[in-house]
Each structure stands twice: as structure tokens, then as C-alpha cells.
Chain A
């Protein structure tokens, strides 16, 4: 058995013994296993317990999940996460496609400058982004001042404290953060589209929209899927931005999201078991959707 595994079948260079691979992986794997994998498994386990985080856990089966099913706040938070998918994924992808369509098929100077600038919101701490936009959205802040200057007095409002508009304000910040990433992904993808296709489209007399619709868009399918997965995960995980922008979900519960509930239940209300159940549901949603979309991507690659 051993010889089969470790030598003849695996054609490594002579200076490498396959067992060395395990030694190279082991140090990192130990840290990863103890501080990432083991906690994931325990989240699943704790979700079946009544546990404050300090007490001895008491096994209660699926009671936490039954409570979750009837928890209006949890459903509200999930709805808000779904609402943010529009602002974190759908709109940035559309905006990214629009900008890509503008930039491809034209030789423009200063492309690097645009790319570098539009990507900046991606690398900044969401806390800083939140602080900046809280200042911009403040009642006596620049946005309202601009509205006043334009004579749109009726639109002046405390954006992040407004029961109707707070969600849209937070969503708008999401668009601002995410579209640069989508655009950069799409531009990279568009550069690898065969230029013959564009020439053919030109010969066939395609206008700009038709060219985009029939050449650029199909050529970017893979990038669109990747952008969707990344931004979708971001929309479901959003925490620090909301924590800062609306000081944790306000006004009322208008911008409460799942990760804020998890934090509140586990670390403020001492309901760690219940928080673990929420965390597991969120994780299952994220992993399932990511895996499905990636599967779509790989099956397409196989088809080609």
C-alpha cells in the first residue's frame, strides 16, 4: 500500500519525497484547524444547545431553530440582507458593465488613473467609509447643503435617521463601494475577448448596443458570475458598515441585518446558542449560493 501511495505512481522529481508535502502543510493547517475549522464545527454543535456563553450548555435539539422560524427580527434582517443584494450586487454589476462598455473598443488615455481611483472604496476600511458617509448624510451635512443650494428644500432630511430612506442611503453606500470591483473584473475580462468577434460585429453593421449585447456581454459571463458571488457574500455579511452608518440597525429596526443580530444575541444578550443557530443559517445560505454559482461557472468551462 505504502509504496503505491508514496512513490511509483506519483511522479515527483527525485529530490522530493511525497511525505514532505504533509510536513510543509502541517504548521499552517494546525492553526487553521484549531482556529477556523474546529470553531465552524462547534457553531453547528452549539446551535443545538441552550447556552449563555458562560453556563454549561444544555442540549435542546432543534428548539433554537424552531424559535428562529418564529423570530420576526430574524426574518426582517434576512429581508434587509436580500434588499442589500440589489445594492451590493445587482446595481454595481450593471454599473460596472456600463463603464466597461464605455471603456472597451476605444483607446483611452489615463485608464490606469480611472481604474485606480474607482477601486479605492474597495480597499478602505468599511468603518472609515461609514464615518465619511455618516458625515455626508448628516442633517447639516454636505448632501443636504447641496440640496438646499439646488433649491430642493423638500428633499432635505436626516437621511440615515429617516424611516423610509435609511435603507436606501445605506444601500447607496453599498453601490459606491462595490461597483469599482465589478468594473475592474469586467475590464480584465473584456481584454481577453477575441477581437475578431468585434470585427465581425462591425462588418455585420452592429451598433454599440448590439455589439455590447452580442459580443461583450456573453464574453463576460464568467466574470459576471464571479462578481455576483463576491458581492452577494458581501451583502449577506455586511456588518461594520451598518454598525457605523446607522449605529447598529436604526432607525428602529429599519436597517438591522443578520450579522448584527448574531452579534447582539451572542455577545450582548448572552444567548450564544441561539446566535450560533443564526450564524449557521447564514453560513449555509452563503456557502450554498456560492457553490451553486461556481458550479454554473465550471460546468460552462467544461462545455467549452
Chain B
């Protein structure tokens, strides 16, 4: 009898746990679901409640957001900025991470400390002189004003991340793969790079997300068509700003690439953000 009661108690507790988690899960997802559904509705359908399904799934709102509200242009800017930042920062961080993680040299701790500083400083700390610097270089209101600082900031995290990765690689593995006459450059790109896929993938998805979502830098440095998606969305004014379904469609356009990436690589996102944080 007693064992029976214990059993049911346990079952009830597990059930309650599931229920609680389910409530939180719904709380996390429902707002997104609401906005995505709204993006497919006509203005007159709004009155039927935020989570009512649209009568016909229409893409008019996306059309209006893409062309009328210029989100197609902003999308282009986002891609033009994100691709070079991720590619350049990944290559440069792999190189420096290798140096910090596998080569012993004089001044390594001091240099590393200097780079780690970049992990802590907020963009507010650099933005004013950066604005001035870009003006002096004639780069203000060009994509370079977005790409170069973001490569710099990504380099700080990337170096840190790749250093930890290379440090954890067994040296026997490396030494065994090295053939005579090999130099450090070849070892890095021919031996280590192919072995570093998981770490690189995590780094790439994180840099993609951070660069895609960057706001402050873009707001300050560029205007008009050079704006990327988040700034375009935040500064949306005029007739489309009052049009809730078009706003919803625009928000969907801004978030979709990150969401798709997240669902494909969710392990890498979480691993990167969690273990990246713990290593700090």
C-alpha cells in the first residue's frame, strides 16, 4: 500500500513538472507565434484575436514590407555586412587562437589580456571616437564603417573561443599528423582546421547572430539604404508603422534567418553561448 502511494505521488510530481515546463515553453513561444500569424493576416482579420488563424494565408504583407517599406534593401545591407564579418573574423580568430593556444611565446598573457578587454567593453565605450575616426577615414555611411569595427569586436571573442579549443586539442594528435618539412602555417590549415569543425561551426553561428542583430553601431554609422534590418525595423515610420500586419511581416523577415540557423544549429548556439560564457 505504502509503495503504491509513493508511486502515485511520484507520478503526480512528474506530471506537475511537465505542466510547469509546458507553461513556460508556451510563454516563450506564444509571442513569436502571435507575430508570425499576424504577418499573414489582413488588417480586418486583426479583430478576431491575435492567435486566430488567418482565413487565407496571404503574402501581401511581406510584399509591402519587402518593397514598400524597403526591407528588401535592408536585407541586402545585412547580407553585405554579415558575410564578410563572419568570414574575415573566423579566419583571423582561427590564426590568433592557434597562436595563443598552441604556441608558447613571450608576452602571450599580456596580449591575451588586451584582447579579452574587448569582451567586456560595451559598444558605448567605442562609438563616439569610432564615429570620428570613420569620418576622418571618409568611411562614414559606407559598409566599411560597419564591417571593420564588427570584425574587431568579433576577433576578441573568436580569439578567446579558438584558443580554448586549440588548448584542449591533444598535442599527440597534432604531432602525429605532422610530416617532416611541415611549417606552422600548413599545420594550422591542413591538419588542425579540418579537425576543428564543431568549434568553428559554433563560432560562425554566434558571429552570424551577433552581427545580424547589431543595432547601436548601425544606427550611428549609416543612414538610408545602408541600414541593416534591425535598424530599418526600429526606425520604420509613416504609413507602414501603423499597419500592424506589415510590421509583423517585417519583424518576421528580420528574425527568420536567425530562427532558421537556430533550429539547424541549436546545439552550437547553446554550447557556444554557455561554454563561451563559462570560459570567460
Contact = CB atoms under 8 A, between A and B. Distances in A.
Contacts of A27: 92, 95
B83 interface: no
B128 interface: yes
B1 interface: no
Interface residues of B, number: 102
B128 A5 contact: no
Contacts of B49: 142, 145
Contact of B251 (A106, A128, A184): A128
Contact of B152 (A32, A124, A132, A176): A32
B195 interface: no
B12 interface: no
A166 B215 CA distance: 23
Contacts of A99: 21, 24
Interface string B164-204: 00000001001100100011110110000000000000000
B8 interface: no
Nearest to B106: A5
Contact of B220 (A113, A237, A267): A267
A90 B179 CA distance: 54
Contacts of A210: none
Contacts of B34: 132, 135-136, 142
Contacts of B129: 38-40, 42-43, 46, 276
Contacts of B231: 127
B270 A37 contact: no
A117 B25 contact: yes
B222 interface: no
A132 B31 contact: yes
B230 A128 contact: yes
Interface residues of A, number: 98
List of 3 A-B pairs having minimum Cβ-Cβ separation, nearest first: A28-B92, A42-B129, A39-B126
Interface of A: 5-6, 10-13, 15-22, 24-25, 27-29, 31-32, 34-40, 42-43, 46, 53, 99, 102-103, 106, 108, 113-128, 130-133, 135-136, 141-142, 145, 176, 180-181, 184-185, 188, 222-223, 226, 229-230, 233, 236-237, 239-240, 243-244, 258-259, 262-263, 266-267, 272, 275-276, 279-280, 282-283, 286-287, 290-291, 294
26 contacts: A6-B106, A20-B103, A25-B99, A31-B148, A32-B115, A32-B155, A32-B156, A35-B149, A42-B129, A53-B131, A117-B28, A123-B258, A128-B233, A136-B34, A145-B49, A188-B278, A223-B278, A229-B280, A240-B215, A272-B131, A276-B129, A279-B127, A282-B125, A283-B121, A283-B122, A286-B120
